[in-house]
Amino acid sequence: MRKILKNILIVILFLIVVLLMIGKSSFDFTSWKYDGNEYNDVIKMGVGTSNPRVVDIAMLGAHDAFTSGIDEKSEVDIAEDAGSILRNRVAGLLANGLFSRLAKAQEVEASTMLVQGVRYFDIRLSFIDGNWYTKHGVISGLFSDSLDELIRFLYENTGEIAILDFQHVYLGENTYDNLLKYLELHEVKPIFNLPGITLTSFINYNPQEISLGELKYNDVTTNGTRAGVVILMKTEQAGEYNYVYQDSIRSTWHEDNSTEIMLTKINAEVVLINSNNLDKDKFRVNQAQKTGLYSLNKVATTLVGWSLLDMAANFNPLILEQNNLDDWFKAMPILMVDNATSQKKDFNKRINEYIIVYNQENLH
CA distance 148 to 193: 11
11 has pLDDT over 90: no
Q: What is the pLDDT of residue 15?
A: 42
pLDDT one-digit tens code per residue, 19-34: 445 777 888 999 999 9
CATH of 40-362 given 3.40.47.10, 3.20.20.190, 3.40.190.10, 3.90.550.10:
3.20.20.190
Q: CA dist 13 to 6, 24, 92, 206, 239, Å?
A: 10, 16, 21, 64, 60
Q: In this prediction, what percent of the chain has a pLDDT beyond 70?
A: 94
pLDDT band at 3 (very low <50, low <70, confident <90, very high): low
13 has pLDDT over 50: no
The mean predicted confidence, pLDDT, of the chain is 92
CA distance 132 to 174: 11
